[in-house]
Chain A
Amino acid sequence: MTAVRKRQIALVGGLLLVIEFLCRVGLVHKTTLAPPSVMLATLADEFASGRILPDLGETLICILASTIIATIGGFVVGLVLNSFPRLRDAVRPILASYYSIPIFAFYPALAAILGLGIAPIIITAVLNSIVGMIIATEDALDRFPRVLVKLARTHRFTWWQQALHLQLPAMLPNLLGGVKLVVAYSFIGVIGSEFLMAAIGVGYQISYSYNEFNVPRMYGLMLLVVILVALANLLLNVPERRFASRAMGRRGE
């Protein structure tokens, strides 16, 4: 284990211990914050009884759908924008201020039009996450080295060969950064929408527990969200680290 990992564990563990202590001593009231050990126990119970599984499944399906749609959609929009420089210049100021637009404000209207199901949730999550992919695609295309195009010409690559063997591998690290953003914003979009208004889902269960004054369950489910986000980050970091080490190796040669 690296020193960094050890320090991270010490930091998070220390923080949890402090919270546990504050709750147990009674400095923070039971109705305000549940001790971490109780959160974990409630969460374990949710899984053991299988109560949360349908909600978790629904949430994960929505996140997956949003991630796929936003990744492909963002990539295509990025490609199209890049082929029309004038359009791209015109769209740029809108993209730059996109994140300050309260996307969640559209969700209730969407739910009113489409009904309370997974469609408005997925649309909100896609709207929330697609711009990250558009920007990453444009970045990746901008950074594509001109010399590789020349290389392809000297080797008489076909268009298909060039796309598959040169462009895609060269762009992959950048695109992966975009996918990471898409996953993060899809999480925010899906769980946020479920929390606001839904009939099922982890976000909905959090708001339900809150309205029922079931504080331990509410915190237990929040812990579940934190764990899910951490797992997703961990998974997406694996290929990124591989790219980074490959790039380093190439530089070393």
Chain B
Amino acid sequence: MTSLRQHLQRRRLADFFILLLALVVVWQIASWLVGDEIVVSPAETIAQIGVLYRRPTFWGHFDATLLAFAYAASITIVLGLGLGISLGISRAAYDTCEPLLMALASLPKVTLYPVILMFFGVGFSAKVVFGVLHGVVPITLFTMNAVRNMPAIYARVARLHRLSARDRVLHMLIPAVLPEIFSGLRLGLSVTLLGVVLGEMFASTRGLGSMLMGAIGLADFRTVAAVTFMLIVLATLLSSVMLWLDRRLHHGAK
């Protein structure tokens, strides 16, 4: 049995790498068809990353993005969980706010960037707020749903044991909803990163996003390709780690 499972796992991994290889081939063909100046080939993209890597200003941009993401992620998590739990506990609050939040989730938040600029000015806080703005709604929605869908019997057991409000949250609510909430965090933090980068594209002079916009302005497509590729790798790495944790949590819950 184990050998069969190992075999399947190995095959799945091999399939995944074959797919990645196929994507690189498609990219290369697109580059040949459209022209190397606009669709930069995979090899040249990697080479350009090497060039950027040696550029002294690059790490400043890289650090700025990571720092803004760290701030935005912390604020998003605290705000999203707080809102989600407090809105999820009450049925009336849930029914009232859920459709409104759904509508908010489908709003193009890029258009809110002038508002953010007017309130926060160009710079670090604007991109942090932009990240929070993107991530907080999905996390709130997932948390609300998780709290709402908690089996009613848990609440009854808590009442039976006369748990205090604090104990009820710490020992019943959080362990019960953690796997669900984590799925929300995975999605929410991914869009938070997206929001930070978007914020940098328009409301900042530092970070990978502003580097991207600068390169677009100079029609430097090699740097555009290199930075976009790095952003994709960064986002995929973040998402993969979260997905792995997510699976483990859900597995533990069963």
Contact = CB atoms under 8 A, between A and B. Distances in A.
Contact of A87 (B11, B15, B34, B96): B15
A99 B186 CA distance: 10
B243 A102 contact: no
Q: Is the interface of B mostly helix, strand, loop or mixed?
A: helix
B243 A93 contact: yes
Contacts of B235: 97, 100-102
Contacts of A203: 108, 110-111
Interface residues of B, number: 53
B190 A229 contact: no
Contacts of A225: 107-108, 111
A108 B108 contact: no
B223 to A, nearest CB: 12
Contacts of B75: none
A134 to B, nearest CB: 15
A91 B231 contact: no
A106 B27 CA distance: 14
A33 B95 contact: no
A106 B106 contact: no
B12 interface: yes
Contact of A32 (B19, B38, B119, B239): B119
A16 interface: no
B219 A112 contact: yes
B90 to A, nearest CB: 11
B111 A233 contact: no
B38 A109 contact: yes
Contacts of A7: 92, 95-96
B15 A90 contact: yes
Interface string B190-234: 110110011001000000000010001001010010011001100
Nearest to A197: B216
Nearest to B187: A99
Interface residues of A, number: 54
A196 interface: yes
Interface stretch (A44-52, A143-151, A180-188): A180-188
Interface of B: 11-12, 15-16, 18-19, 34, 38-39, 92, 95-97, 99-100, 102-103, 105-115, 118-119, 187, 190-191, 193-194, 197-198, 201, 212, 216, 219, 221, 224, 227-228, 231-232, 235-236, 238-240, 243
Given A102-B228, A105-B228, A233-B103, 11 more contacts: A33-B115, A96-B243, A102-B232, A105-B197, A105-B201, A203-B111, A222-B115, A225-B108, A226-B103, A226-B107, A229-B107
30 contacts: A11-B97, A31-B118, A87-B15, A90-B18, A90-B19, A97-B243, A99-B187, A100-B191, A102-B197, A104-B110, A105-B197, A105-B201, A105-B228, A109-B221, A112-B219, A184-B105, A188-B106, A188-B110, A191-B110, A192-B108, A192-B110, A195-B113, A196-B110, A203-B111, A207-B114, A210-B114, A218-B114, A222-B115, A230-B103, A233-B102
